Amino acid sequence: MSISLLSLPTELLFAILAELEVEDVISVLETHPDLYQVSYWCLRKRRHRLCLRSYSTSGNTSRVRILLEAGAKADDWSFPFGSSLADAAANGHEEIVKLLLDHGARMDHNGHFVHHPLQAAAPKGYFAIVNLMLDYGVDVNSKSAFGHTALTETIRYKGQYSYHKGGPWMGRGRCLHRRSKTPFSYYDTMKLLLEYGANPDRISQSEANPALHMAMINYPHLQQDTVGLLLEYGANPNARNEYDATPLRLIDPTNPIYDPRCTEIANLLLDHGADVNAQDNDGRTPIHVVASADGHGEALTEIYLAHKADVNVADLDGVTPLHLAVAGPLANSRVVELLLKSGADVNTKTRKGNTPLHLAVHHKVPNEVIRLLFQYGADMNSSNEQGKCVRHR
């Protein structure tokens, strides 16, 4: 003989519900409207934190609403897992984010291995959720426990998403585990952050790279819209990172992910006032970097020379762009010729006394490069600090 729950005394019913998991109590509440009052009262006596986080993550809006109405704390968080708000934001559940915010969820919870809710949504391009939190007054320049701002994180993941789209990075399940029904746009997210006052020149604690630098080290050939947007909102094209390098200095043709489209980024930075002769902590300028890149640096060398790059600037070791251009077996004769035609001193010495000819012979460069050096007056009798000249080799 079956017994209806409605026929049980309230005290017994409450005792039964008290033994159930929170999820089961909610199920009773949802499926037995006549038991709503006692189920709801029982629910108010329970701990909701883990359930609230679980439903916020999975996107169960109705159960999140029930728990909040039953007294669950919207701003509860736990170490090291974070908050329900961050979980909802990271998983693209805009309606739940609004519910939690309306019930007083804090947007500044932080801790080890935990992102602020804003940093949880922005790197996935969830612009509507970002806009919602900005409207609720979140600090647009707040930093996560890792020292990242929402802007720098968005730029980082935009580059990686653009490069690996549909490829290995998505296959590894990193960051791109995105809710398919939630619209996303990295450009709109970055623009929102900038419109609300994100500082593009603010340095990130862990990488110590401002926003433009972050674009330069994360697939710059896919970040032209990013760079243009940052410059439009006042990013300093001559800002320095922890190594005293400017964004232009970070365009590196020797990088395995270098792409010829980086020339467009270089032109964009130069058109906005980037200093082509800015030196980093080692005394190297952008033309030092491209001169050492063998054949990959030819186009950038031409661009930098057209913008009056100093071909005789020496780094802390006395190394000039010409030294670097001939310091490898794959030395590009076109780059060497461009430097020499622009006035590079063919007999300048490093701190160890080596001229470009010393290095060219040592690295067994193509004969065409040697002929160019002699054509522009290379001295084969010049000695280095060891007293050696090319004639002695």
At 171, the pLDDT band (50, 70, 90 cuts) reads: very low
Q: What was the pLDDT predicted at 76?
A: 72
Count of CB atoms situated within 10 Å of the CB of 101? 22
At 168, the pLDDT band (50, 70, 90 cuts) reads: very low
Q: What are 252-266's pLDDT values in tens digits?
A: 999 888 999 999 999
- Measured CA to CA in angstroms, residue 60 lies from 95, 270, 327 at distances of 10, 50, 62
- Measured CA to CA in angstroms, residue 248 lies from 280, 295, 300, 332 at distances of 11, 19, 11, 22
Q: What was the pLDDT predicted at 80?
A: 54
Write 331-334 long-range contacts (CB < 8 A, 24+).
331/294, 331/360, 331/363, 331/365, 331/366, 331/369, 332/294, 332/295, 332/297, 332/298, 333/366, 333/368, 333/369, 333/372, 334/295, 334/298
For the chain, give me the number of helices (H) and strands (E)?
A: 21, 2
Q: What was the pLDDT predicted at 315?
A: 98
Top pLDDT among 345 and 67 is at 345
Top pLDDT among 64 and 54 is at 64
Domain borders along the chain are 276-393
What is the rounded distance in angstroms from the CA atom of residue 252 to the CA atom of residue 104?
A: 47
Mean of the per-residue pLDDT values of the chain: 84
User: Collapsing DSSP states into helix, strand and coil, what is residue 71?
Assistant: coil
Q: What was the pLDDT predicted at 1?
A: 35
Hey, what are 16's tokens?
A: 């039964």
Is there a contact between 331 and 369 (Cβ–Cβ < 8 Å)? yes
State mean pLDDT over 144-173.
73
Is there a contact between 270 and 239 (Cβ–Cβ < 8 Å)? no
Helix intervals (H) in 105-250: 117-121, 127-135, 150-164, 168-171, 186-195, 211-216, 224-232
State mean pLDDT over 330-339.
95
**pLDDT for 333 beyond 70:** yes
Instruction: Pick the range with the lowest mean pLDDT from 1-10, 48-57, 312-321, 355-364.
Output: 1-10
Which range of 49-53, 158-162, 174-178, 306-310 scores highest in mean pLDDT? It is: 306-310
Q: What was the pLDDT predicted at 165?
A: 66
Q: What are 1-41's pLDDT values in tens digits?
A: 344 555 555 555 556 556 566 676 566 666 666 555 555 55
Phi, psi for residue 134 in degrees, rounded to 5: -65, -40
What is the rounded distance in angstroms from the CA atom of residue 139 to the CA atom of residue 186?
A: 19
Instruction: Pick the range with the lowest mean pLDDT from 15-29, 135-149, 299-313, 332-346.
Output: 15-29
Is there a contact between 303 and 267 (Cβ–Cβ < 8 Å)? yes
- Does domain 276-393 bear CATH number 3.20.20.70? no
Which range of 12-16, 89-93, 309-313 scores highest in mean pLDDT? It is: 309-313
pTM of the predicted model, to two decimals?
Answer: 0.84
Hey, what are 44's tokens?
A: 């108010």
**pLDDT for 214 beyond 60:** yes
What is the rounded distance in angstroms from the CA atom of residue 170 to the CA atom of residue 157?
A: 12
**Percentage above 70 pLDDT, the chain:** 78
